[in-house]
Structure 1
Amino acid sequence: ETLGLKDGLYSIGIGVDSSLLSDKVLQRSNRQYTELEGNGGKIDFIFRKTFDVTLPEPGQIVAGEEFTVSWEEVDGAAYYTVEPVVSEEPYKKSGTSFRSSASDKNGERQFTTNYAVFNVDMLRNQFIIRFGGDGTSIEPLTVLGAFLPGAEYPIVVNAFDGDGKLITSSIPLRSYYDSIPSVTVEGKLTKGEEMILRRDYTGAIAHYENILNDNPHDVEALRYLVRIYGTGWKLDEKNLEKAYEYEKRYGSITGDNKMLINTLNIMSRDEIKENSEIIGLAFEQAKDDIDENEYYFLSRYYIALGNYEAAREMLDKTDSVSDKLVYLNMYFGDYTKAAENLQSKNYYLSRLASNKIINAVRELGKNPPTARDRQVFNDFLLKLIKGVHYENGQSLYDETVKQIENDNIKTILYEIYLENHWNRYV
């Protein structure tokens, strides 16, 4: 309980003795901020006990192409996700690590049962690791992916309610990855994979192209050449024409036509624009198997080409609601839809979801701004849609707000300014 706080948005945290969190998970709210209006507001911090993963056991060896993850059921869970833990140095279990939901052998990511079966080869294609590199060459895992033979990968399972809110997880707030279920794929790296791991990309290219001279259908050679040529193993060494040719051959053999798209997803807007023809061909090849991740990349592709209506259409196909979809709807004057976006349970944690902003957006629909205000606001939105560097945010905000007369637009601008933390670069 607090006294004397003015109406507004507040970010609230609590301090808890970490020894209490060895078997607890924080059930997260759908909102990061609490909004105080009139009689105050309320936020609950709910800690739930973890649940058990029954398979795999810690350190379980995967001898074949598939493995099963199973877990105990959680009351109130609408679905579960399975997240392997991928580290920058998988053989040393060190460096930066991340968790990302994995698709099972049927391509599903959300499971309503208490088990899922995963295909190792599919997982290796799914995880394009985007660690930084040394500035002159890509990280080996960007090419090799995850689930390398002989490396251990911890497994985390999460339970969500029908609104997509985390209920609890198999991993507590205080834990160590070496104490949780994990899998290790049997086998060892091939000669070409060892070359990639030690950053000998030139040698790996020669090795794999020699293999293709003898066997044009070698899946390993095609997979890694798509990734090496698609990402560019060092500065100015990208060759998308070769990557696309190998991708077509790889897809005809395996049925997987999305590896090049997954690889190209790390491109900047300028790179997308420069290579739009090849990217368009890659999407055409994979058009029958596009999912949410590809819709996001497609939206970036259309933004780079200046086709903002198509970008909005792609983002509207995704399950979640992003800032860019909100900005695009406002850019096209669809303020009612933008307000609906901000109220959606699928909108991510943001201060823009406050009643103050939602009401301001709605008012723009009821009482449209002047042509001049709308043009200035749209210019601002378009810069956001394309991407604004943090250091340029303050000047962009200052230049925009001084030209605006509409109070509702000023309210929206200020909250965008705070949400993007541009005030840190004053």
Structure 2
Amino acid sequence: MKKINLRIRTVIILAAAISILVGIGYSKTPSLMASNIESQEKAENKEASIIMKERLINYFPGSEEARWEVFSLADSLLQQEERIMIGPNFVGGGRGDQVNIGAEKVISYLQKVAKAQDEVMWRYMSYQKIGQIYQIQSDYDEAVKYYEIAARGFAEGDKAFKVAEVNGSLVEIYMELGDMDKALALVEYNLESYPEQEQARFLVLKGDIYFQLGEFTKAEAVYKQAMQQAEKDWERFLDHSKQNDLKESNINATLQDQPPYKHSKSRLELLQTMESGGFPKNNGYQDKGNIIGKILVGNAPLPNVLVYLINEQEYDGRMSHLEGAASYAPVKTDGLGSFEFSGIVPGRYFVVLGVLPSDLEGLGRFKGLDTFTVQEGETENLEYAFQPRVIVNHPAGQQFFTEGEELPISWNGAPGAKSYNLHITLKLENGYASRVYLQNLKDTSYVFEPEGLQARGMNFITWANDILGPSAILGSFYPGAEIFFVVEALDESGKSISDSEGYVLQLNANYPSVQIEETSFFSQGDKLVLEKKYSEAEQAYLQELKEKPDNPYVLLSLARIYNYGWGEGTSNPQKALQYYIRLLGITKEKFIIEEAASAGIQAQDYELALEFFEGIEEYFEENSFWYHLMGELYFKTGDPEKALRYYQNYLKGQKEFRDLGPVVALLYLDRFEEAIKLLEGKEYSQLLRYSSTGETQIPADIPTLIYSLEKYSSGIKSDLQKEDFRKYLMEIMSIDRKGRLEQVQAFQAKLKTLGEEDVLVKALQEIARDRM
């Protein structure tokens, strides 16, 4: 009997031990599986890692490892939805990583994990992520459903900051759907119920709602509140940082960079401009404009494109700030590729297209997203078309190239193309630099054969770690340089419609390129430049010049070294001019004359710069920027009549001013009516200007300028004499180079002493702001 009891006890103990071991093994399995997933990902076995993730989520949904893996899948899916953002002069965004699990499956995994999680935070974060996935798919009903589940759960779990986060997403959806009443009610609820959570963000949303409703006085008041709250939040952050011994130098941001502050400040400046331009602050939807547009691929519609509408004055030039600068909720193109914005405040806008990388495969880049003006009570019609990418047949991949050789470049003709530009792109240590090498080629082939001094003409003035890049001195053709070729297709009007690069980078593709092996001249000074030993290179070049005083390569290198400098305080444009003049006694290459003229401007020898430009004027293309520059130089040298002729040469066919130089010339010549007509006939960029310290400044207010000039032309007296007015115009045009902001501010302070309400003083104040 005792033996039996002993056996039973032994069996029980063994069973318990086995149970404990199994339990331990079971509890350790998720951790082991997570380690395996990490190993697979490091080995880039994506399919194997995804299979392991799915098993982990299915078998152990309540584990911490399953939670992080499903969140990882959801985040990857959301990032995969990240679009390539295409604007007037920038392209960015998009991702190459693809998640081979559909949205529906990821959502089902999130639901499984949510049900198995014990902690409130993780359970409702799962529902929040489901809402995010539905939101990017524009399934707003489902997005709202899951966001509301998450918000209720976070509220019950006393997670106020998460409630605020989810409510912010709900407000954005309601605004996108045009349900401003619901959006405003939720904003008010959040401000009252969770006053310590993201108050600045909700004040901004409230201001945006009033702005879109056309209640501008209310919007103005709320934006001011948002700025004040953002300042308080920033002060609290700095105090917290000090308490935690976080050095201020390590805080890579300022108050001005904080989205609520930045957006509110931008909107207040816009409202100020609207008011000064005669657009009342409280006019509801009357006098607003509309936009309708279409996105195509060839002649076929492109659906599911996210279209952002950006007020030019609110954009700070940074692509990463598009969300904050968007004037209205973005819209998606429908099955016909169509989109629409209604109730738009009159002003200058541009659109940014957010396109999925998969929809851009095989398409070339185009340039056509220009700024446009929305007029009161009118509808602006837009149409943008992507075209197939230009295919370069030869060279295929990279080839080695020695100066003096010939390299045929050929490509297939693009639909609708009437001419082509050939660009070269130089690989740099910190990126790439590109520019047009040849323009308006009518054929679909070209023989590339740069040699002699011309091979150094295509230089790129770039900096890395405050040190000049070697290309600035050596051009693009030096031993070891890698050059890529891009063909750009133009239509009959000269507008870019496609290219050979495209939007989607193919990492393993053989892009047409050459690596330079040898050049006809490469001196010791050149070698030192390539090593960025510029002081030693300068001395080597001077020695080489003693041995051969007429060496054009050395003269060019010395001219460039002194023209650009290689670090703080090392440029010497007067010395550069001496070497350019010596070089021009040997050769009259056009690029050398252009560089010499630019050095003349830097040296403030405007008459000499004009002399150089006049020597190559016959080669200028129609509407060339050089005409505009010559106009400014003629004005500065006391010939406003000639300045005006050159300004007008530049303005022919131009949609907008480069700056207000032509207007200044007309006013100097006492041709006020013509100046007003020109201001009314050409557009003027409202992009923010930047000071040397990074501060943003709004540009000249054209409606205020026109109003002031019209009042003076109608007989309103000014205390300024004509000669004094001309003197101030000349003083304005002398504001250039470094410290422009400080120069403008000093000039405006001086003008204030002459009477702020004087019509000509007001006009001068606005013209001065154009020089920033």
TM (normalized to structure 2)?
Answer: 0.43
CA deviation after TM superposition for structure 1 residue 277, in Å? 6.4
Aligned with residue 77 of structure 1, among 406, 417, 422? 417
1:267-416 residue pairs with structure 2 within 5 A?
A: 271-273=602-604, 275-276=605-606, 279=609, 282-283=612-613, 292=624, 294-295=626-627, 297-299=629-631, 301-302=633-634, 304-305=636-637, 307-318=639-650, 321=654, 322-328=658-664, 330-332=666-668, 333=671, 336=674, 339=677, 368=713, 370=716, 372=718, 379=728, 383=732, 386-387=735-736, 389=740, 402-403=756-757
Q: For structure 1, which segment, 215-224 or 381-390, has the greater mean C-alpha deviation from structure 2 after superposition?
A: 381-390
1:237-272 Cα distance to aligned partner (Å, 9 max, x none): 5555654454344334444265264156277x6x43
Check whether the contact 1:152–1:183 (CA below 8 A) recurs between aligned residues: yes
CA distance in 1, matches of 2:730, 2:358: 46
Residue 46 of structure 1 aligns to a residue whose secondary structure is strand
Matched, 1:196 2:529: yes
CA deviation after TM superposition for structure 1 residue 195, in Å? 0.7
Aligned with residue 35 of structure 1, among 354, 374, 378? 374
Q: Which residue of structure 1 lines up, in the alignment, with residue 478 of structure 2? A: 148
CA distance in 2, matches of 1:53, 1:338: 49
Corresponding letter in the other structure for 2:713: P
Q: Which residue of structure 1 lines up, in the alignment, with residue 359 of structure 2? A: 20
Check whether the contact 2:581–2:596 (CA below 8 A) recurs between aligned residues: no
Residue 486 of structure 2 aligns to a residue whose secondary structure is strand
- Structure 1 or 2: more helix by fraction: 2
CA deviation after TM superposition for structure 1 residue 151, in Å? 1.3
Number of residue pairs matched by the alignment: 397
Corresponding letter in the other structure for 1:79: S
Matched, 1:171 2:501: yes
Change (3 A) 1:317 1:112: farther
Q: Which residue of structure 2 lines up, in the alignment, with residue 187 of structure 1? A: 518
Q: Which residue of structure 1 lines up, in the alignment, with residue 445 of structure 2? A: 115
Aligned with residue 547 of structure 2, among 214, 218, 222? 214
CA distance in 2, matches of 1:161, 1:402: 50
Residue 603 of structure 2 aligns to a residue whose secondary structure is helix
Check whether the contact 1:11–1:32 (CA below 8 A) recurs between aligned residues: yes
Check whether the contact 2:606–2:633 (CA below 8 A) recurs between aligned residues: yes
Corresponding letter in the other structure for 1:368: S
Check whether the contact 1:328–1:385 (CA below 8 A) recurs between aligned residues: no
Change (3 A) 1:77 1:201: same
CA distance in 2, matches of 1:140, 1:256: 21
CA distance in 2, matches of 1:365, 1:315: 23
CA deviation after TM superposition for structure 1 residue 85, in Å? 1.4
Check whether the contact 1:158–1:170 (CA below 8 A) recurs between aligned residues: yes
Check whether the contact 2:408–2:445 (CA below 8 A) recurs between aligned residues: yes
Check whether the contact 1:299–1:311 (CA below 8 A) recurs between aligned residues: yes
Check whether the contact 1:150–1:184 (CA below 8 A) recurs between aligned residues: yes
Q: Which residue of structure 2 lines up, in the alignment, with residue 51 of structure 1? A: 390
CA distance in 1, matches of 2:684, 2:393: 31
Change (3 A) 1:260 1:140: farther
The sequence identity of aligned pairs, in percent, is 20
1:28-86 Cα distance to aligned partner (Å, 9 max, x none): 43731241432422222322221112233321333343544332223333432121113
CA distance in 2, matches of 1:364, 1:11: 29
Matched, 1:127 2:458: yes
CA distance in 1, matches of 2:356, 2:481: 34
Corresponding letter in the other structure for 1:143: I
1:372-407 Cα distance to aligned partner (Å, 9 max, x none): 39979975796378448457778988978953659x
Residue 43 of structure 1 aligns to a residue whose secondary structure is strand
CA distance in 2, matches of 1:276, 1:178: 50
**Which has the higher Rg, Structure 1 or Structure 2?**
2
CA deviation after TM superposition for structure 1 residue 133, in Å? 6.2
CA deviation after TM superposition for structure 1 residue 171, in Å? 1.6
CA distance in 2, matches of 1:124, 1:183: 14
CA distance in 2, matches of 1:290, 1:177: 39
Aligned with residue 435 of structure 2, among 100, 117, 142? 100
1:195-274 residue pairs with structure 2 within 5 A?
A: 195-233=528-566, 238=571, 243-256=576-589, 258-259=591-592, 261-262=594-595, 265=598, 271-273=602-604
CA distance in 1, matches of 2:679, 2:419: 23
Matched, 1:157 2:502: no
1:78-114 Cα distance to aligned partner (Å, 9 max, x none): 4321211134x3xxxx3143322124xxxxx322332
CA deviation after TM superposition for structure 1 residue 139, in Å? 3.9
CA deviation after TM superposition for structure 1 residue 152, in Å? 1.1
Change (3 A) 1:380 1:371: farther
Residue 420 of structure 2 aligns to a residue whose secondary structure is strand
1:111-135 Cα distance to aligned partner (Å, 9 max, x none): 2332334442465443342224666
Change (3 A) 1:45 1:367: farther
Higher relative contact order (CA 8 A, sep 6+): 1
CA distance in 1, matches of 2:390, 2:598: 35
Change (3 A) 1:202 1:39: closer
CA distance in 1, matches of 2:384, 2:730: 35
Change (3 A) 1:257 1:20: closer
Residue 83 of structure 1 aligns to a residue whose secondary structure is strand
CA distance in 2, matches of 1:102, 1:339: 38
CA distance in 1, matches of 2:345, 2:575: 61
Q: Structure 1: which 5+ residue stretches go unaligned?
A: 104-108
Corresponding letter in the other structure for 2:422: V
CA distance in 2, matches of 1:335, 1:130: 42
Change (3 A) 1:245 1:394: closer
Change (3 A) 1:348 1:60: farther
CA distance in 1, matches of 2:441, 2:680: 27
CA distance in 1, matches of 2:369, 2:468: 36
Check whether the contact 1:50–1:169 (CA below 8 A) recurs between aligned residues: yes
Q: For structure 1, which segment, 390-399 or 51-60, has the greater mean C-alpha deviation from structure 2 after superposition?
A: 390-399
Change (3 A) 1:10 1:231: closer
Change (3 A) 1:113 1:16: same
CA distance in 2, matches of 1:177, 1:193: 32
CA distance in 2, matches of 1:320, 1:145: 33
Residue 61 of structure 1 aligns to a residue whose secondary structure is strand
Residue 45 of structure 1 aligns to a residue whose secondary structure is strand
CA distance in 2, matches of 1:368, 1:110: 45
CA deviation after TM superposition for structure 1 residue 164, in Å? 3.2
Check whether the contact 1:25–1:169 (CA below 8 A) recurs between aligned residues: yes
CA distance in 2, matches of 1:96, 1:213: 37
